Amino acid sequence: MRRYSADGLEVEIYDDSNGMIEAAAARLFEQARSKTDSILGLATGSTFLPFYGYVAAHYSVEGVSFRKVTTFNLDEYYPIKATSPDSYHTYMNRNLFSRVDLNPANTHLPDGEAPDAAVEAVAYERLIQESGGIDLQFLGLGRNGHIGFNEPGTAPDSRTHQTALSESTIAANSALFVDPGKMPRHALTMGIGTIMEARSLVLLASGKSKAEAVAASLKGEVSAQVPASFLRRHGRAVFMLDREAAAGIA
C-alpha cells in the first residue's frame, strides 16, 4: 500500500480491490471496537458489495459486535417501495443487515415511500442530528464525482434533500435494476453539509471507471462541479483506492 497526503486528505493506494476492502473493513472493526455504540454512515453501490460480504464473514471472528451500533444510509431512490428488489433498503437488508448482529430498529435509510419528500428529508436530517451525529461515514464515488446522490452543482452546505439524478448516474445505475426502464429519476440523499459533519470519512473507489473522478476530486479545483472535492476541506477524510482507480493521480 502506498500512502500520501494531499490537501489534508489521506490517500491510500492498494495493489488490488481486495486489499482495499480488507483495510476498509479493518477501519470499521476498529471503530466498532473502540466505541460499541458508534453511529455509522453507510453507502451502497457495487463497490460496497464485496465490502459488506467481507464484514459479514469476518466481524465475529474479529471480536466485533454491532448490537449497540446505529446506522444511517446516505441515500435511497425516490419514489421506491422499500420491498422493491432495486431499493437500497433491499440492498442493505440482503448484503449487511440480515448477516450481522445489528438491531434492525437501529438501522436507518431515507423513506422512499414517504408521501412528501421534503418532509421526509427534514425528518431524516433531524434523526441524524438527534443521534449525536455520525462517527464514521463510508462513501462511494460516482463516475461524475458525486457522493451520496449529491450530483455536480450541489451546494457544499446542502442538507438531506430530494435530488434529480443526472443522466450519467441513471446510465450507470440502471444497469443494476431488475427493470432498467423503471429506475426512479429522483432520490433522497444526505447533503454535502450533512456528510461533512461526520467526524471521520472513508471513501472507497475501485476500477478504472473511477480514475477520472478520483483525479478530478484530488487534483482539480475544490468545486461543486466535483462534489467529492469538498472532502479535501474535511481534515479527517481518507480516499482508499485500488491501483486502477488511482491511475490518474499516481
Catalytic site positions: 75, 144, 146, 151
CA angle 14-192-95, nearest 5°? 55
Q: How many residues bind ligand GLP (CB under 6 A)?
A: 14
Q: Answer yes or no whether residue 74 interacts with ligand GLP by CB under 6 A.
A: yes
- Which residues in the 34-63 window bind ligand GLP by CB under 6 A? 43-47
Q: Site mask, ligand GLP, residues 118-137, x = CB under 6 A?
A: --------------------
* Cell numbers that stand for 59 in this block: 466481524
Q: Answer yes or no whether residue 145 interacts with ligand GLP by CB under 6 A.
A: no
* Cell numbers that stand for 11 in this block: 490517500
Q: Answer yes or no whether residue 17 interacts with ligand GLP by CB under 6 A.
A: no
Q: 64 or 165: whose CB is closer to ligand GLP?
A: 165
CA distances to 117, 148, 168, 177, 208 from 249, rounded to whole Å, are 38, 23, 22, 32, 12
Dihedral (C-alpha) 94, 96, 101, 107: value to the nearest 10 degrees?
-90
- The residue length of the chain stands at 250
Q: 148 or 191: whose CB is closer to ligand GLP?
A: 148
Residue with cell 482508499: 240
Q: Answer yes or no whether residue 142 interacts with ligand GLP by CB under 6 A.
A: yes
Nearest-approach distance from CB 172 to ligand GLP, in angstroms? 6
